[in-house]
Amino acid sequence: MSKVECELKINGLSKKINIYNDKPLVYAIRNDFGLTGTKLGCGLEQCGSCAVIIDGEKKLSCNLLAIECEKKEIITVEGLKIDSELNHVQEAFRNFNAAQCGYCTSGIIISITALFDKNKKPSSQEIQNALDGHLCRCGSHSVVLNAIESLKEN
């Protein structure tokens, strides 16, 4: 199998990379762009740790081909910062210490950012729907929910 040139735009930075055409986006993000906040967990669209925002929508990057993401705006957890400051979701998670090992955290922050970008006052059901598919083996769920609830008050 030969490599192909692929131009990706991640967090506003465009870069051409040479990759096999079956390379999942998560590997391009981590290995070719050096953005290790996006985690590879299950690789099967079942844990949520690899979530990124693509053209405004949350997507799982483990089963998306990198070459299918050309000409799209890809945002990782590193790209959520605004003028070098944490965004409101990142800030809430920091204030509430809403993580233990942190492996699931960037994926959850991506999903919640995508939710609040569209809906400033989501219902509990909408929050649960956004969290559906995000696994946390450390059991940080209650403090994560507290951090998210605090966002509704702002």
DSSP-assigned letter for residue 39:
P
Q: Which residues bind ligand FES (CB under 6 A)?
A: 40-43, 45-50, 60, 62, 99-105, 136-138, 140
- Shortest distance (Å) from residue 139 CB to ligand FES: 8
Those residues whose C-beta lies under 8 Å from the C-beta of residue 85, and which sit 6 or more positions away, are 91
Q: Contacts from 121-127 at CB under 8 Å and sequence distance 24+?
A: 121/152, 122/152
For ligand FES, the closer of residues 11 and 63 by Cβ is 63
For ligand FES, the closer of residues 7 and 68 by Cβ is 68
Distance CA 120, CA 108 (A): 17
- Shortest distance (Å) from residue 84 CB to ligand FES: 25
For ligand FES, the closer of residues 14 and 46 by Cβ is 46
For ligand FES, the closer of residues 1 and 44 by Cβ is 44
Helices (H), the chain: 25-27, 88-95, 105-118, 124-131, 141-152
Is 98 exposed, middle or buried (CB count within 10 Å of its CB: 0-12, 13-18, 19+)? buried
- Shortest distance (Å) from residue 132 CB to ligand FES: 12
- Shortest distance (Å) from residue 65 CB to ligand FES: 13
- Shortest distance (Å) from residue 83 CB to ligand FES: 28
Instruction: State both tokens at 39.
Output: 């985690």
For ligand FES, the closer of residues 4 and 138 by Cβ is 138
